[in-house]
Amino acid sequence: MLVDFEKLPDSSRVWIYQANRSFSEEELQEIKTATDVFIEQWTAHGQDLKAGYEIRYNRFLILALDQQVAAASGCSIDASVHFIQELEKKYNVSLLDKMNVSYKQGAYVAYKPLLEFKKMAKAKSVSPKTIVFNHLVTNKGEYLEHWEVPASESWHARFM
């Protein structure tokens, strides 16, 4: 059951998928349509899942699930991963690679392999004040409060 992301409780579980590039406006419209269809059909043990999503900065797809209604099962999580893999294939984009870092560079979002980000931190090309995207958040409340944070306040701090 598709619901407005804003209306989901802060306890809702989130999954954040970062793209290695920005999506075009046309791609975003197609992705929104596909995500609407996926969530409308998303179930766990035959029970509809109350879920929503948002797309941020034209490159992050955030799925949120109200687990108070019904929790995700192994099969439903597999279904969501399969959906994301389909998006990867269709748009020739990486969404599941967790070994990359996204951070703000002025008004833009930069995307670098983790090893390159480490080198940049060592060279002081990024600093503890650099805004990074902390994908370790697990629920909507954490996402809203601790997703975009200075590197010094996330797991990225170990490289500074």
pLDDT in tens, 87-97: 999 999 999 98
Place of tokens 């060592």: 122
d(CA 18, CA 112): 11
d(CA 61, CA 57): 9
The identity of residue 102, as a single letter, is: S
Cα 86 to chain center, whole Å?
16
Mean pLDDT of the region 71-88: 93
Asked whether residue 50 carries a pLDDT value surpassing 90, the answer given is yes
Q: What angle do the packed helices 25-41 and 74-91 form, to 10 degrees?
A: 160
Residues 6+ apart with CB under 8 A from 9: 66, 68, 140
